[in-house]
Amino acid sequence: MIAERIQRVVVTGATGFIGGYLIRRLQREHLPVLAVVRAVPAGPPAPRVTYVERDLERVDTLRDVLHPADVIVHLAARVHVMRDRDPDADATYRRSNVDPTRMLCRSAAEAGARRVVYVSTAKVFGEGRERPYERTETLAPADAYARAKAQAEQVLRDVADRGSVEWTVFRPPFVYGPGGKGNFPRLVALSRLSSVVPLPLASIENCRSILFVGNFVDAIVRCGLDERAAGQVLLPTDASDVSTPQLLRAIAAARSARARLFRCPPALLRRAAALVGRTAEMERLTESLRLDSRHLREELDWHPPFTLAQALERSIDPSGRTSFAVGND
């Protein structure tokens, strides 16, 4: 349920991949939105959406634009970079992801906002394993991006616990969908290639949790705004985990094609990837990272509305490109 006393939802990073979908979903729920952006997007104003230009890395407060009872969904962040060559990546991620979160949480508490919903990452648990991560496990972030996200989570709790503002944290796995960047276009390209040239990926037996953007924004709206989610860490996922071969075949099926895969020992694949400097990419293809999302299902009664087939149908056009059409998200 969406609490009736929510007067407005404030969204940072509103023009980003997830932010755009969230704004449209909130419009369908008839909730007023304040979108905090670095630059107001061109075009006619969206119904029930007010834009305010603020660079969260350059302002000291947002108290002047926040209202009592606001719920703030904090999406703005420096995203993960696979081969980051920054000489001090930890400091860079702190400036982009931790310091703005501290400022935002302090502003929320001063303004009397109701809750800050923070979108973190499953990477705060570590780089992956066969057994699913549970939401109460000790964090073991392995890179600068994940360390900054874990630090921002702690900032949120510390600031919120000192005042009257509530907090909710989402730790999503890999999020995909129309317009998605990063791993998803790479997987689509790989699946498309496999329809032409057989690829040695059939022996990969990993298992990964994934999350369609339409399912994620549904979880944010249905659970992040729910009174029962106050003080909760939530692990949203699609209904089923998948292996890399399963995902490549499902992507191909969405294109009305077939992925041609043959067996090759994963250890040999890793050695070959290391020779060409593609170790990180191969690790993402071969390793497991699973989340235990039973708490969302059992305690908050949330179930992802889109199946994998439905999600991919909305994400990929028949030519094999990732679709940028919004569709019914």
| pLDDT over threshold 70, residue 209 | yes
Cα 117 to Cα 171: distance, rounded to the nearest angstrom: 11
> What pLDDT score does 79 carry?
78
Cα 96 to Cα 93: distance, rounded to the nearest angstrom: 5
pLDDT per residue as tens digits for the range 268-293: 999 999 998 888 888 888 999 999 99
| pLDDT over threshold 80, residue 80 | no
Place 321 in a pLDDT band, splitting at 50, 70 and 90.
Answer: low
Domain 9-176+211-237+290-305 CATH superfamily: NAD(P)-binding Rossmann-like Domain (3.40.50.720)
Q: Which of 150, 161, 167 is nearest to 72 (CA)?
A: 167
Return the sign of the alpha-carbon dihedral for residues 6, 179, 320, 81.
negative
- Give the DSSP per-residue string, 127-195: S--SSPBPTTSPP---SHHHHHHHHHHHHHHHHHHHSS-EEEEE---EEE-TT--THHHHHHHHHHHHT
pLDDT per residue as tens digits for the range 123-150: 999 998 999 999 999 999 999 999 999 9
Cα 274 to Cα 272: distance, rounded to the nearest angstrom: 5
> What pLDDT score does 327 carry?
34
Mean per-residue pLDDT, 217-233: 94
> What pLDDT score does 42 carry?
86
> What pLDDT score does 281 carry?
85
> What pLDDT score does 264 carry?
94
Place 194 in a pLDDT band, splitting at 50, 70 and 90.
Answer: very high
